[in-house]
Structure 1
Amino acid sequence: MGMAGLVAVLGLAVLLPTDAVPCGAQRPDNSTASKLLGTWLYVAGAAQFPQHRVEMLLIDHAYVRLEPGAAGQELLISHYVAVGDQCFTNNLTYLEVTAGNATLVRNAKTQQIEGMLMNMSSENLLLIQYQMQRERTYLGQYLYARNLGISSAEREEFEQHAECLGLRAEQIVYAPWRTEVCQVEEAEGSNSPHPEPVAAVTASPAPGTPWPGSTGN
């Protein structure tokens, strides 16, 4: 499936009702949005179907950058994904943070729900769960962190979330981070200790280019 097809699948997908998600969706408070701002490094993904695991294997490294949106508790999500010798970018989604409700990932154009933020033990970890249904249910989750030095306990926590979804250890792919195609440097004029991603080579996505979280049936 090409990149356009992957994004289109997410745009058409419908998240299952919150009651159908047993693995602990986050219930944010008023401080959640500010805690999520900044750069998150892609650590690993877990996908239900073999073809999606193959797509994740193409990713060397990736980032997401969360910035305040124009409307209240919305956080804009900018994706940076390194595949081969190119760094691809995408900003089609945002987080909707509402007190007393789940923190949801929405498509900026269709306004349809694509994912849900999940509870983790550390504020330095960001976990998004996808549980979507078209002809069949698609399950997946993607782990991001403030830095790549996550502990074995944090890895185990991620793997337990995957197991809660019915995903096995062999369905998890950790990003190797072998190259520096999508460079990271400090944002100018920023007091944030977290690095800002910079696309060293920005291009239109090639056919078959996967995004963490952008896989469909």
Structure 2
Amino acid sequence: MLASLVLLLGLPLALADEAPSCAPLVPVTFDNSTIPQILGLWIYISGASKYPPHLEELKTLKYAAFIISHSNHEDELNVTEIMRVNETCVVKNNSKIQVILHNSTLVHVDDQVSSMAKVIQSDKDVLILNILHDKYSGLSISARTPNVSKEQMEEIRAQMHCLGFTEEEMFFTSEKEACPLPGEKTEEGDTEKQQLE
């Protein structure tokens, strides 16, 4: 799964005495098959940002998953976000993604704040978003499952370095911090208490 992402992004395994190869990110051009491919559950793996408010959010994010579904509008998608922020699981089910077909862009609208992103070509089980916020850049990598190897994480980190992100601007979530999905039972058999927003 992420191995294909690595291959498609041009992230070959770095040899001990060579610097990693830096391939450009190639955006997806939206067509009739694009949106159905991004529907469903995604586990947030990693993010990097140069935008100060996003950096502050990423510092507190321990785990995140999101479910993208159709809405009543053709150019809009619903998003349910499940996050562990510091020590609290939070579920947000009021977010929307606007789909702008003419320039193949997604716009995430949350609490009157919007972020624009381009979907980057990758494996079908990986969702890479190049986040564009004014003059600031960002990168978000999510997958259908949380299973990512240490080597794959290092390759993701190398690509983020290629894009100019510092260690202080990169964040990785942990499956150990996972929150149950809405309605999912915890090991004790009870649904974990979640703060709804």
Instruction: Name the residue aligned to 1:160.
Output: 159
**C-alpha offsets along residues 154-197 of structure 1, whole Å, 9 cap, x if unaligned?**
76357526633x323452111123234x204898xxxxxxxxxx
Aligned partner (choices 188, 202, 212) of residue 194 of structure 2: 202
Instruction: Name the residue aligned to 2:35.
Output: 33
Label 1:47 to 1:72 Cα distance change in 2 as closer, same or farther (>3 A): same
Correspondence 1:44-83 to 2 at 5 A? 44-48=46-50, 52-53=54-55, 55-83=57-85
**5+ unaligned residues in a row in structure 2: which ranges?**
1-23, 185-190
Structure 2 Cα separation of the partners of residues 66 and 94 of structure 1? 9
Structure 1 Cα separation of the partners of residues 61 and 69 of structure 2? 23
Label 1:177 to 1:149 Cα distance change in 2 as closer, same or farther (>3 A): closer
CA RMSD of aligned residues (A): 3.3
Contact 1:43 1:175 in 2 (8 A): yes
| Residue 28 of structure 1: how far off its partner (Å) | 1.7
User: Is 1:24 equivalent to 2:23 in the alignment?
Assistant: no
The number of equivalent residue pairs is 167
**C-alpha offsets along residues 74-130 of structure 1, whole Å, 9 cap, x if unaligned?**
2211111112432112244333345553131242775x8512132132011112222
| Residue 64 of structure 1: how far off its partner (Å) | 0.9
Instruction: Name the residue aligned to 1:5.
Output: none
Compute the TM-score of the two structures, normalised by the length of structure 2: 0.67
Label 1:172 to 1:201 Cα distance change in 2 as closer, same or farther (>3 A): same
Instruction: Name the residue aligned to 1:215.
Output: none
Compare relative contact order (CA 8 Å, sep 6+) and give the higher one, 1 or 2.
1
Instruction: Name the residue aligned to 1:120.
Output: 121
Instruction: Name the residue aligned to 1:15.
Output: none
The residue type paired with residue 148 of structure 2 is: I
Contact 2:118 2:131 in 1 (8 A): no
Q: Secondary structure at the match of 2:122?
A: coil
Structure 2 Cα separation of the partners of residues 154 and 28 of structure 1? 28
Compute the TM-score of the two structures, normalised by the length of structure 1: 0.62
Instruction: Name the residue aligned to 1:183.
Output: 180
Structure 2 Cα separation of the partners of residues 108 and 58 of structure 1? 18
Correspondence 1:141-156 to 2 at 5 A? 141-150=139-148, 152-153=151-152, 156=155
Label 1:58 to 1:106 Cα distance change in 2 as closer, same or farther (>3 A): closer
Q: Secondary structure at the match of 1:140?
A: strand
Identity %: 22
Contact 1:92 1:107 in 2 (8 A): no
The residue type paired with residue 200 of structure 1 is: E
| Residue 34 of structure 1: how far off its partner (Å) | 1.3
Structure 1 Cα separation of the partners of residues 30 and 42 of structure 2? 18
Label 1:78 to 1:204 Cα distance change in 2 as closer, same or farther (>3 A): closer
Aligned partner (choices 88, 91, 95) of residue 89 of structure 1: 91
Contact 1:40 1:145 in 2 (8 A): yes
